[in-house]
Amino acid sequence: MMTSWTTHLPVFVVILPLFVGFILPTLARRLRLVENLVIAVEVISFVMAAALAVLLFKQNGSPIPYAMGGWPAPWGIRIIADNLGVLFLLVIAIVGLPIALYTKGNLREEVGGRSRTARFYALYLLLMGALAGMAVTNDLFNVFVLVEVATLSACGLVSAHRNPRAAEAAFNYLILATLGSGLVMGSIGFLYITTGHLNMEFAARELAQVWQHSPHVVWMAASFMLTGFGVKAAMFPLHVWLPDAHSMAPTPGSAVLSGLAVKGYLICLLKILYNVFGQTLMRHFTMHHVLTAAGIAAILAGSILALRQDELKRRLAYSTVAQVGYIILGFGFVNQRGLAGSLFYLASHALIKSTLFLTAGAIISATGKTKVSELAGVGRKMPLTMGAFTVASLGLVGIPLFSGFVGKWHLLLGSFESGNFAAAAVILAGSVFCAAYLFPILRNAYFQETPGENWQDPGMAQRAAFVLLSAAIIFFGILPTPLLTLAQRAAADLLFLQ
């Protein structure tokens, strides 16, 4: 019996959050139950992701396929839990649980009434389900459907905040994200016309043979895909919606959007670029240069814009633009080290940025102040919250023994391997910028005083969330091997190295 249940894991990982999410609006009157259900779902998702990772390590990284309804590909939909997918599933689970813990008992402050809060949770679980789906999907049209589910629930999460400005930010996001969806849809259409397949493996095999008959259509498909996902993943200069949306959303919403949602689109882009178009076509269309250039521009511009922000959440949002740049940069190196570094950085940034947003939210709700310059002395009055913020800042800057370092190190190795020394310089410069916009907050918090205020750390559940996240950041900084092995195997799969 045990074996039969483990074979269904790839599909359970996706449907559990989706189907629990659907029934939450009917439980609006029993908000306690809703909160506990969401935490339970996150715990079970974590167990399932860990079980999948163990299975994958037992098989030495050969993927775990699952045919929906028993129909074989290309007729049926086949989902695959491969190294890349399991890596992302683990990230979702590790970040999702603390975010769910953080929401316990304090979401109504930002969101409002009971039914609004229940709906927030429903959207949160829908987004988690869609992201898990992106991790395991192997079908172009499913990618589109999951992207739409994720986008719409993300817009809902942004607009859930009571502040009317959140609705405006959500509307901007909706318009631009829909444009992105349209481009992705168009690209999938072109690919389907050219290859006649929606399954990624079959489409890739067909595309390698027929792309020369209609190179312009395939080029269009590739550039639509890049632009579409570029808008959704806030690739510089298509990031304009991100600072508003991510800073106006309720705190757990900001954390999940910056930490996970953006990464989901990047994973989809990575899958389609490497698994469907393949390295040869990417190099032929010089897409790796576009990716590298976009990455460099994002790191520099995002960091400089972040430096100029005085509002704490906006500064963190601009920092996300810069950090997405690192990930994109790694996609453009087209070698195993760079890709592995990029994937590890993706995982570590998911942890770090959700910690930063959650602690920032806790600080803002305790002090009522949103500006960086007003937060003098927070460090002594809220030691645990500011401690988690400090750990995450050190991680983001890339100090050794924190998870960000491992990712940046492998990115550097990748840039040397591809002979791109400008990129290497920008990676290092990015760290300096990052220190420049985060360390003043720390200095202010620890070495200055605001007399007379009685600020306190938040409740137990929130503290548990901060401890879990900081522990994960330090754990993956000291012992990166399990995650790094997954990332390296995923990179080898993407480059078809054996």
Of 16-24, 47-55, 352-360, 444-452, the window that binds another protein (rule: CB under 8 A) is 16-24
CB atoms within 10 A of CB 189: 15
Q: How far is the CB of 130 from another protein (least distance, A)?
A: 14
Q: Is position 22 an interface residue for another protein (rule: CB under 8 A)?
A: yes
CB atoms within 10 A of CB 70: 6
Q: Is position 15 an interface residue for another protein (rule: CB under 8 A)?
A: yes
Q: Is position 18 an interface residue for another protein (rule: CB under 8 A)?
A: yes
Nearer to another protein, 11 or 467 (CB): 11
Q: Is the distance from CB of 346 to CB of 483 less than 8 angstroms? A: no
Beta bridge partners of 139: 199
Q: Which residue's entry shows tokens 């704490």?
A: 312
Q: How far is the CB of 179 from another protein (least distance, A)?
A: 22
Q: How far is the CB of 258 from another protein (least distance, A)?
A: 28
Token digits of residue 467: 């401890």
Q: Is position 432 an interface residue for another protein (rule: CB under 8 A)?
A: no
Beta bridge partners of 311: 371
DSSP string, 5-43: HHHTHHHHHHHHHHHHHHHGGGGTT-HHHHHHHHHHHHH
Beta bridge partners of 371: 311
Residues in 207-266 that interact with another protein by CB under 8 A: none
Using CA atoms, how far apart are residues 476 and 326, in angstroms rounded to an integer? Answer: 18
Q: Is position 19 an interface residue for another protein (rule: CB under 8 A)?
A: yes
Helix, strand, coil abundance in the chain, percent, nearest 5: 80, 0, 15
Instruction: Candidates 4, 209, 286, 498: give the one binding another protein (CB under 8 A).
Output: 4
CA angle 154, 107, 35 (to 5 degrees): 90
Q: Is position 31 an interface residue for another protein (rule: CB under 8 A)?
A: no
Q: How far is the CB of 23 from another protein (least distance, A)?
A: 5
Q: How far is the CB of 198 from another protein (least distance, A)?
A: 17
# binding residues, another protein (CB under 8 A): 16
Q: Is position 30 an interface residue for another protein (rule: CB under 8 A)?
A: no
Q: How far is the CB of 449 from another protein (least distance, A)?
A: 50
Of 4-12, 154-162, 275-283, 298-306, the window that binds another protein (rule: CB under 8 A) is 4-12
Q: How far is the CB of 2 from another protein (least distance, A)?
A: 14
Q: Is position 3 an interface residue for another protein (rule: CB under 8 A)?
A: no
CA angle 428, 430, 436 (to 5 degrees): 115
Nearer to another protein, 24 or 363 (CB): 24
CA neighbor of 348 nearest in space, from 292, 396, 412: 396
Token digits of residue 202: 């079959």
Residues in 32-71 that interact with another protein by CB under 8 A: 66-70
End-to-end CA distance of the chain: 34
Q: Which residue's entry shows tokens 């879990």?
A: 468
Of 23-31, 293-301, 393-401, 486-494, the window that binds another protein (rule: CB under 8 A) is 23-31
**Where do contacts with another protein occur on this chain (CB under 8 A)?**
4, 8, 11, 15, 18-19, 22-26, 66-70
